[in-house]
Structure 1
Amino acid sequence: MLLSALAGCVSDPAPTEQLRLTEQALAQAKAVGADAQIPELQQAADKLQLAQTAMADEAFKDARMQAEQAELDARLAEARVLTQKSETQLASLNAQIKRLRLQLGDLQ
Protein backbone atom coordinates (compact mmCIF):
# COMPACT_ATOMS: atom_id res chain seq x y z
CA MET A 1 0.00 0.00 0.00
CA LEU A 2 2.80 2.38 0.89
CA LEU A 3 4.55 1.62 -2.40
CA SER A 4 1.45 2.38 -4.44
CA ALA A 5 1.03 5.66 -2.56
CA LEU A 6 4.63 6.59 -3.33
CA ALA A 7 4.24 5.59 -6.96
CA GLY A 8 1.21 7.85 -7.20
CA CYS A 9 3.26 10.79 -5.96
CA VAL A 10 6.01 10.14 -8.47
CA SER A 11 3.76 9.89 -11.52
CA ASP A 12 3.42 12.87 -13.80
CA PRO A 13 0.38 15.12 -13.49
CA ALA A 14 -1.94 15.53 -16.46
CA PRO A 15 -0.40 18.12 -18.82
CA THR A 16 -3.62 20.05 -19.38
CA GLU A 17 -1.86 23.44 -19.41
CA GLN A 18 0.73 22.21 -21.93
CA LEU A 19 -2.04 20.91 -24.19
CA ARG A 20 -3.74 24.31 -23.98
CA LEU A 21 -0.49 26.07 -24.90
CA THR A 22 0.05 23.67 -27.79
CA GLU A 23 -3.45 24.23 -29.15
CA GLN A 24 -2.91 27.97 -28.82
CA ALA A 25 0.41 27.75 -30.72
CA LEU A 26 -1.28 25.79 -33.52
CA ALA A 27 -4.07 28.34 -33.74
CA GLN A 28 -1.55 31.19 -33.86
CA ALA A 29 0.43 29.51 -36.63
CA LYS A 30 -2.74 29.07 -38.66
CA ALA A 31 -3.75 32.68 -37.95
CA VAL A 32 -0.57 34.01 -39.57
CA GLY A 33 -1.10 31.82 -42.63
CA ALA A 34 0.52 28.46 -41.92
CA ASP A 35 -1.21 25.71 -43.85
CA ALA A 36 -0.59 22.19 -45.10
CA GLN A 37 2.28 23.50 -47.24
CA ILE A 38 4.34 24.05 -44.08
CA PRO A 39 5.54 20.59 -42.97
CA GLU A 40 6.07 21.66 -39.37
CA LEU A 41 2.39 22.54 -39.04
CA GLN A 42 1.36 19.01 -40.03
CA GLN A 43 3.99 17.59 -37.69
CA ALA A 44 2.59 19.72 -34.88
CA ALA A 45 -0.95 18.54 -35.56
CA ASP A 46 0.18 14.91 -35.65
CA LYS A 47 2.08 15.24 -32.38
CA LEU A 48 -0.86 16.99 -30.74
CA GLN A 49 -3.05 14.07 -31.76
CA LEU A 50 -0.52 11.67 -30.22
CA ALA A 51 -0.48 13.79 -27.06
CA GLN A 52 -4.26 13.71 -26.82
CA THR A 53 -4.26 9.95 -27.28
CA ALA A 54 -1.59 9.55 -24.59
CA MET A 55 -3.61 11.83 -22.33
CA ALA A 56 -6.68 9.63 -22.79
CA ASP A 57 -4.54 6.60 -21.94
CA GLU A 58 -3.25 8.47 -18.86
CA ALA A 59 0.31 8.26 -20.18
CA PHE A 60 0.92 11.78 -18.93
CA LYS A 61 4.69 11.87 -19.40
CA ASP A 62 4.36 10.84 -23.05
CA ALA A 63 1.46 13.27 -23.48
CA ARG A 64 3.56 16.12 -22.10
CA MET A 65 6.55 15.31 -24.32
CA GLN A 66 4.41 15.04 -27.46
CA ALA A 67 2.57 18.27 -26.61
CA GLU A 68 5.83 20.13 -25.99
CA GLN A 69 7.24 18.93 -29.30
CA ALA A 70 4.00 19.87 -31.04
CA GLU A 71 4.14 23.36 -29.56
CA LEU A 72 7.70 23.84 -30.80
CA ASP A 73 6.77 22.57 -34.27
CA ALA A 74 3.82 24.96 -34.39
CA ARG A 75 6.01 27.88 -33.35
CA LEU A 76 8.54 26.91 -36.04
CA ALA A 77 5.75 26.80 -38.63
CA GLU A 78 4.65 30.27 -37.53
CA ALA A 79 8.22 31.58 -37.75
CA ARG A 80 8.65 30.11 -41.25
CA VAL A 81 5.47 31.82 -42.47
CA LEU A 82 6.45 35.15 -40.94
CA THR A 83 9.95 34.86 -42.42
CA GLN A 84 8.51 34.12 -45.87
CA LYS A 85 6.18 37.11 -45.60
CA SER A 86 9.07 39.36 -44.49
CA GLU A 87 11.25 38.18 -47.37
CA THR A 88 8.43 38.85 -49.85
CA GLN A 89 7.91 42.34 -48.43
CA LEU A 90 11.64 43.02 -48.54
CA ALA A 91 11.86 41.92 -52.17
CA SER A 92 8.93 44.17 -53.03
CA LEU A 93 10.51 47.15 -51.27
CA ASN A 94 13.84 46.53 -53.01
CA ALA A 95 12.07 46.45 -56.37
CA GLN A 96 10.33 49.74 -55.57
CA ILE A 97 13.63 51.33 -54.54
CA LYS A 98 15.23 50.15 -57.77
CA ARG A 99 12.38 51.66 -59.82
CA LEU A 100 12.66 54.93 -57.94
CA ARG A 101 16.42 55.06 -58.51
CA LEU A 102 15.88 54.47 -62.23
CA GLN A 103 13.27 57.24 -62.33
CA LEU A 104 15.56 59.61 -60.48
CA GLY A 105 18.38 58.73 -62.88
CA ASP A 106 16.13 59.63 -65.81
CA LEU A 107 15.42 63.02 -64.26
CA GLN A 108 19.04 64.02 -63.98
Structure 2
Amino acid sequence: MELNEHTLVIDTLKEVDQSRKCFRMVGGVLVERTVKEVLPALENNKEQINKIIETLGTQLQAKGRELNEYREKHNIRVMGEDDQKQPPKESGDGSGGKPSSAGVLVS
Protein backbone atom coordinates (compact mmCIF):
# COMPACT_ATOMS: atom_id res chain seq x y z
CA MET A 1 0.00 0.00 0.00
CA GLU A 2 2.83 2.39 0.81
CA LEU A 3 4.42 1.76 -2.56
CA ASN A 4 1.14 2.62 -4.30
CA GLU A 5 0.77 5.78 -2.19
CA HIS A 6 4.31 6.90 -2.99
CA THR A 7 3.76 6.27 -6.71
CA LEU A 8 0.51 8.22 -6.69
CA VAL A 9 2.05 11.21 -4.85
CA ILE A 10 5.16 11.24 -7.06
CA ASP A 11 3.06 11.18 -10.24
CA THR A 12 0.93 14.04 -8.89
CA LEU A 13 3.90 16.17 -7.82
CA LYS A 14 5.68 15.78 -11.17
CA GLU A 15 2.89 17.77 -12.81
CA VAL A 16 3.05 20.60 -10.24
CA ASP A 17 5.28 23.71 -10.26
CA GLN A 18 8.56 22.95 -8.45
CA SER A 19 8.40 26.11 -6.31
CA ARG A 20 4.92 25.35 -4.96
CA LYS A 21 4.41 24.78 -1.23
CA CYS A 22 4.20 21.18 -0.17
CA PHE A 23 3.50 19.62 3.23
CA ARG A 24 5.12 16.40 4.34
CA MET A 25 4.63 14.28 7.45
CA VAL A 26 7.99 13.59 9.12
CA GLY A 27 7.87 11.53 12.31
CA GLY A 28 4.34 12.66 13.16
CA VAL A 29 5.12 16.34 12.49
CA LEU A 30 3.75 18.18 9.46
CA VAL A 31 6.61 20.05 7.76
CA GLU A 32 6.30 22.73 5.08
CA ARG A 33 8.66 22.34 2.13
CA THR A 34 8.62 22.91 -1.61
CA VAL A 35 7.88 20.29 -4.24
CA LYS A 36 11.50 20.61 -5.39
CA GLU A 37 12.72 19.47 -1.94
CA VAL A 38 10.13 16.75 -1.33
CA LEU A 39 10.14 14.96 -4.68
CA PRO A 40 13.69 13.51 -4.49
CA ALA A 41 13.04 12.26 -0.95
CA LEU A 42 9.83 10.54 -2.04
CA GLU A 43 11.58 8.89 -4.98
CA ASN A 44 14.35 7.67 -2.66
CA ASN A 45 11.75 6.27 -0.23
CA LYS A 46 9.99 4.50 -3.11
CA GLU A 47 13.26 2.85 -4.18
CA GLN A 48 13.92 1.73 -0.61
CA ILE A 49 10.43 0.25 -0.34
CA ASN A 50 10.98 -1.65 -3.61
CA LYS A 51 14.26 -3.07 -2.28
CA ILE A 52 12.61 -4.14 0.96
CA ILE A 53 9.77 -5.84 -0.92
CA GLU A 54 12.26 -7.77 -3.06
CA THR A 55 14.31 -8.79 -0.02
CA LEU A 56 11.24 -9.97 1.87
CA GLY A 57 10.07 -11.92 -1.18
CA THR A 58 13.36 -13.80 -1.45
CA GLN A 59 13.38 -14.45 2.31
CA LEU A 60 9.83 -15.80 2.09
CA GLN A 61 10.78 -18.18 -0.73
CA ALA A 62 13.86 -19.37 1.17
CA LYS A 63 11.83 -20.00 4.34
CA GLY A 64 9.17 -21.84 2.32
CA ARG A 65 11.82 -24.16 0.85
CA GLU A 66 13.36 -24.62 4.30
CA LEU A 67 9.95 -25.48 5.77
CA ASN A 68 9.21 -28.02 3.03
CA GLU A 69 12.63 -29.66 3.47
CA TYR A 70 12.07 -29.89 7.23
CA ARG A 71 8.61 -31.40 6.75
CA GLU A 72 10.00 -34.00 4.32
CA LYS A 73 12.99 -34.80 6.52
CA HIS A 74 10.84 -35.40 9.62
CA ASN A 75 7.81 -36.82 7.76
CA ILE A 76 5.44 -34.14 9.08
CA ARG A 77 1.96 -34.07 7.58
CA VAL A 78 -0.85 -31.62 8.25
CA MET A 79 -4.25 -33.13 9.02
CA GLY A 80 -6.53 -33.02 5.98
CA GLU A 81 -3.69 -32.23 3.60
CA ASP A 82 -3.01 -35.75 2.30
CA ASP A 83 -6.55 -37.14 2.63
CA GLN A 84 -7.29 -36.86 -1.08
CA LYS A 85 -3.92 -38.30 -2.15
CA GLN A 86 -4.22 -41.60 -0.25
CA PRO A 87 -6.99 -44.13 -0.94
CA PRO A 88 -9.12 -45.07 2.06
CA LYS A 89 -7.81 -48.00 4.06
CA GLU A 90 -9.84 -51.18 3.87
CA SER A 91 -10.15 -53.63 6.70
CA GLY A 92 -8.91 -57.14 5.96
CA ASP A 93 -12.06 -58.89 7.20
CA GLY A 94 -14.01 -58.33 3.97
CA SER A 95 -16.93 -56.64 5.72
CA GLY A 96 -17.16 -53.91 3.09
CA GLY A 97 -15.33 -51.25 5.08
CA LYS A 98 -17.77 -51.17 8.01
CA PRO A 99 -16.18 -50.81 11.43
CA SER A 100 -15.91 -54.05 13.35
CA SER A 101 -17.99 -54.48 16.49
CA ALA A 102 -15.74 -57.10 18.05
CA GLY A 103 -15.81 -57.05 21.83
CA VAL A 104 -19.10 -55.13 22.06
CA LEU A 105 -22.20 -56.75 23.52
CA VAL A 106 -25.51 -55.61 22.10
CA SER A 107 -28.76 -56.81 23.63
Q: Specify the TM-score bucket, using the shorter chain as the normaliser.
A: 0.3 to 0.5
Look at both structures and tell me which one has the larger radius of gyration over its CA atoms: 2
Q: Which has the higher helix share?
A: 1
Q: TM-score, structure 2 length as denominator?
A: 0.47
Q: TM-score, structure 1 length as denominator?
A: 0.46
Q: Which has the higher strand share?
A: 2
